[in-house]
């Protein structure tokens, strides 16, 4: 997979050699070193045409703050999407910032790339989306700053046949899209084939991609050695060796935790017919209303 990130703060992603950047460590760093993912970080200002490399201007209609300019973003996306090397994976230095040459050539109407624009006004980013993105060949992230990016940039990319998602990582406002990109890239990259040591952990994770045991639920509590710590014992069932009993206990705990912290997820699961009689009994015991009427709210 190729990942392009356009930002006015390329240093956010680490120095050119990648050492110390958030995309250069742990599972993602290893995936990049193997060539499973190639990151290209671009400084948006290289596509600004004035002497000050201006990327923003005052908003039409007034109001506080500045808006990022459509012409600069358009030039950046044109250059990245017409980069003939874009499908080549595994550059020798995957972290190296690769300044694309600004180009006047038109963007192909269908690019094969997906543009992801982080914004608090986007659709919520979910594990389902992370799974879908993990199947993409090329993701391009546009990091906004100030009051965001001129809306015509997204309209223009869509009109040219590009898949575009405006995505929020939560109901709060960050200063820029860079942190959101790190969040999204980390969620996506750990789902790439071969990145996680144990593929089962994906389906056993909270939200449980791929229809696993945690499908639509939060994962319950987890434990490791020692069996007793500061007077607290690990739940006996986990030491029983009875795999069916352990699986049931884990699902019960997941149901209880999800009902308490994310009742919206339980309602969604119920609406999708994802709760069996035992699940419902556990939820009723936990004080969660699972009858049809109250589930609807």
Q: Give the pair of three-digit tokens for residue 130.
A: 């992370």
For ligand SAM, the closer of residues 108 and 124 by Cβ is: 124
Output the smallest distance, CB 63 to ligand SAM, in A: 9
User: How many angstroms separate the CA atoms of 252 and 288, rounded?
Assistant: 13
For ligand SAM, the closer of residues 71 and 147 by Cβ is: 147
First to last CA, the chain: 41
Output the smallest distance, CB 64 to ligand SAM, in A: 9
Element (H, E) at 90: none
For ligand SAM, the closer of residues 165 and 252 by Cβ is: 165
Secondary structure tally for the chain: helices H, strands E: 10, 9
For ligand SAM, the closer of residues 68 and 195 by Cβ is: 68
User: How many angstroms separate the CA atoms of 288 and 270, rounded?
Assistant: 12
Element (H, E) at 164: strand 163-168
Residues that bind ligand SAM (CB under 6 A): 118-121, 143-145, 147-148, 168-170, 172-177, 180
Output the smallest distance, CB 5 to ligand SAM, in A: 12
Contact 166, 154 (CB under 8 A): yes
User: How many angstroms separate the CA atoms of 270 and 275, rounded?
Assistant: 6
Output the smallest distance, CB 168 to ligand SAM, in A: 4
Shortest-Cβ-distance residue relative to ligand SAM? 144
For ligand SAM, the closer of residues 141 and 288 by Cβ is: 141
Output the smallest distance, CB 9 to ligand SAM, in A: 11
């Amino acid at each position: 997979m190729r990942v392009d990130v356009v930002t006015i703060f390329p240093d956010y992603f680490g120095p050119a050699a990648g050492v110390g950047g958030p995309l250069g460590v742990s599972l993602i760093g290893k995936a990049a070193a193997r060539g499973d993912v190639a990151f290209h970080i671009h400084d948006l200002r290289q596509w600004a045409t004035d002497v000050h490399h201006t990327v923003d201007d005052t908003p039409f209609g007034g109001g506080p703050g500045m808006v990022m300019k459509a012409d600069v973003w358009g030039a950046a996306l044109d250059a990245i999407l017409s980069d003939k090397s874009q499908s080549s994976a595994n550059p020798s230095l995957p972290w190296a910032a690769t300044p694309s040459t600004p180009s006047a050539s038109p963007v192909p109407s269908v690019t094969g790339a997906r543009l992801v624009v982080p914004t608090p006004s986007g659709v919520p980013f979910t594990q389902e989306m992370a799974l879908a993105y993990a199947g993409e060949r090329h993701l391009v992230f546009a990091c906004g700053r100030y009051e965001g990016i001129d809306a015509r940039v997204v309209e223009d990319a869509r009109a040219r046949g590009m898949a575009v998602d405006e995505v929020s990582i939560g109901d709060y406002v960050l200063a820029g899209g860079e942190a959101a990109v790190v969040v999204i890239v980390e969620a996506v990259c750990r789902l790439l084939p071969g990145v996680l040591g144990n593929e089962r952990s994906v389906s056993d994770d909270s939200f449980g991609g791929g229809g696993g045991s945690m499908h639509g639920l939060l994962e319950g509590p987890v434990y490791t050695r020692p069996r007793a710590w500061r007077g607290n014992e690990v739940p006996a069932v986990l030491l029983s060796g009875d795999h069916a009993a352990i699986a049931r206990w884990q699902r019960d705990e997941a149901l209880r935790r999800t009902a308490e912290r994310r009742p919206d997820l339980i309602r969604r699961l119920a609406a999708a017919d994802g709760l069996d009689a035992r699940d419902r009994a556990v939820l009723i015991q936990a004080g969660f209303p699972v009858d049809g009427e109250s589930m609807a709210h």
